[in-house]
Amino acid sequence: MNLLVTGGAGFIGSNFIRHMRETHPDYLIVNLDKLTYAGNLDNLTDLENDENYRFVKGDICNEALVRHLLRTYSINAIINFAAESHVDRSISDPGIFVTTNISGTQVLLEAARTYGIDKYIQISTDEVYGSLGATGYFTEETPLAPNSPYSASKAAGDLLVRAYHETYGMNVNITRCSNNYGPFHFPEKLIPLMITHALDGKELPVYGDGLNIRDWLHVRDHAAAIDLVLHQGKSGEVYNIGGHNERTNIQIVELILERLGNSKALIRYVEDRLGHDRRYAIDPAKLESQLGWQPKYTFETGIVETIDWYLENEVWWRDIQSGQYLNGYDFRYSEPANG
């Protein structure tokens, strides 16, 4: 197969590309990424000399470029990871979320339709379902009720994908995953932010009461699930992806501090995020029963490996902190105001 992977220089996209390299070394992978502040070519240095891998710096909103790539590389499938992905940034600057997550998705869909691409996969999120109370799980039938500009833009993208299936009969899938963790996670998100702050002896900012719940999945288990959906997903279906792994934020923070031997005195409760979703929890029964997916990582081993990865790859995250990773690109990394 010839794959167009968009947003492949980010956290999940780069882990997916590496996974596909290992499981399908003969596939051509074209990685189209704009290299926003979240895109980092250091995530894929091991593939630089791979003859079945191409990197293209560009925007998914650039219709001419997307069409050119579909033609030039005889693409069979598009897997769209490209997105603005950070909730806090969507609260302070929602506009770019609409542009990339909605308009960009439409550009990809339209090009896929024009060129009769065999499969289009939209990498979405459980956040489109909104927030849960103390009980219950998100299933594929849960109504969409997004609460942040980020999740609203992802939900709108999902609806476009659905419409292209219903209207034009396009072979699409939407995957909705819970919170990912693992190597190459950009250090503005909870787990890598807390690890890097703890290693620097900086305060760990916990929003609100720290009792919000997220359902954590190792990024490599997510990649394996997408691989299955690519090859076996039924046209038009949505698949939820999650590993039955709910934790409060404060549990995560305390676990990191304990592993690194730091004091809990570093914890600082700060003002809550606006519209902060209380709980996410995925029911992955459909993916398990229909496609036979099972996560391989337990959280206990996955989180320890992840903390160790940040210890062993200090240059990677120091380069992000200093802006070195951008190698002359426009943006510099700065932590969001309430982080």
Residues of the shown chain interacting with ligand TYD in the complex, contacts defined by CB under 6 A? 87, 179, 189-190, 193, 205-207, 212, 214, 249, 273, 339
* 18-33: b (≥16 Cβ within 10 Å) or e: bbbbeebeebbbbbbb
Of 18, 19, 34, 220, which one interacts with ligand NAD (CB under 6 A)?
34
Q: Could you say which residues in the range 144-173 bind ligand NAD, by CB under 6 A?
A: 154
Q: Does the active-site annotation cover 150?
A: yes
Q: Active site residue: 127, 221, 227, 283, which one?
A: 127
Q: Does the active-site annotation cover 164?
A: no
Whole-angstrom distance, CA of residue 335 vs CA of residue 35: 17
Please give the size of the binding site for ligand NAD, defined by CB under 6 A.
31
Would you give the DSSP letter of residue 10? S
Of 4, 5, 6, 120, which one interacts with ligand NAD (CB under 6 A)?
6
Return the range that interacts with ligand NAD (CB under 6 A); candidates 5-13, 112-120, 255-263, 273-281: 5-13
Under the criterion CB under 6 A, does residue 186 sit at the interface with ligand NAD? yes
Q: Could you say which residues in the range 101-120 bind ligand NAD, by CB under 6 A?
A: 104
Of 100, 148, 249, 306, which one interacts with ligand NAD (CB under 6 A)?
100
Whole-angstrom distance, CA of residue 171 vs CA of residue 236: 6
Look at the chain and count its residues: 339
Minimal distance, residue 309 CB to ligand TYD, in Å:
17
Whole-angstrom distance, CA of residue 197 vs CA of residue 246: 23
Closest listed residue to residue 242, CA positions, set 287, 184, 178, 180: 178
Structure tokens at 57: 């710096």
Q: Does the active-site annotation cover 330?
A: no
With beta carbons less than 8 A apart as the criterion, state whether 17 and 4 touch.
no
Minimal distance, residue 14 CB to ligand TYD, in Å:
17
> How many other C-beta atoms are found inside a 10 Å radius of the C-beta of residue 298?
12
As a whole number of Å, the CA-based R_g of the chain is 19
- Residue number, 104 or 205, with CB nearest to ligand NAD: 104
Under the criterion CB under 6 A, does residue 220 sit at the interface with ligand NAD? no
Whole-angstrom distance, CA of residue 38 vs CA of residue 321: 12
Partner whose binding site includes residue 233, from ligand NAD, ligand TYD, none (CB under 5 to 8 Å by kind): none
With beta carbons less than 8 A apart as the criterion, state whether 121 and 80 touch.
yes
Return the range that interacts with ligand NAD (CB under 6 A); candidates 10-18, 47-55, 87-95, 264-272: 10-18
Active site residues: 126-127, 150
